[in-house]
Amino acid sequence: MATDKTFVPKGHQESNWILVDAQDHGIGRLATVITAYLLGKHKPTYTPGVEVGDFVVVINARKLGITNKRMDEKNYYRHSNYPGGLTTVNLRDQMKNRPDRVIRAAVWGMLPHNKLGRRLIQKLKIYAGEEHPHTAQDPQPYEGA
């Protein structure tokens, strides 16, 4: 009796480019959509641990829909590994100075923290405004809510 072989993708297959407009979206829901595209969960060949996802270009990162309460209460921390080297930045200042880091931190928290996750986060391109240098790749707009 013959059995069918299981198909396992080898990775680095054809990657598409997806354009996501972040204007008026919540950060958590937006990050789950971006993470799903980076991991390739929308493809029938999705396999955990294999890089089958797409490139994601995010525009209008500066115009995220975030409430005023969250802007003042949420903090981002980083440490220089020196004594007294803890730096705290609240979300309002982070959105003013580096809005791309807000989305990148949310997506990174949803990706696997290993070699695969580090490769996938490189496929994420985030821009504060409407302009992006990836028009030659013809990114397809995300049609979600």
Domain boundaries, the chain: 17-66+94-131
Q: Between 38 and 3, whose confidence is greater?
A: 38
Which tokens go with 32?
């789950």
Residue of 120, 92, 95 whose CA lies nearest to 108: 120
> How many helices and strands, by DSSP H and E, does the chain display?
5, 6
Q: How confident is the model at residue 98 (pLDDT cuts 50, 70, 90)?
A: very high
Percent of the chain past pLDDT 90, that is, above it, reads: 82
Q: How confident is the model at residue 145 (pLDDT cuts 50, 70, 90)?
A: low
For 8-31, what is each residue's pLDDT tens digit? 777 667 789 999 999 999 999 999
Q: Across residues 62-76, what is the average pLDDT?
A: 95
In this predicted structure, what is the pLDDT of residue 112?
96
- Give the burial class of 22: count Cβ atoms within 10 A of its Cβ; 0-12 exposed, 13-18 middle, 19 or more buried: buried
Question: What CATH code is assigned to 17-66+94-131?
Answer: 3.90.1180.10
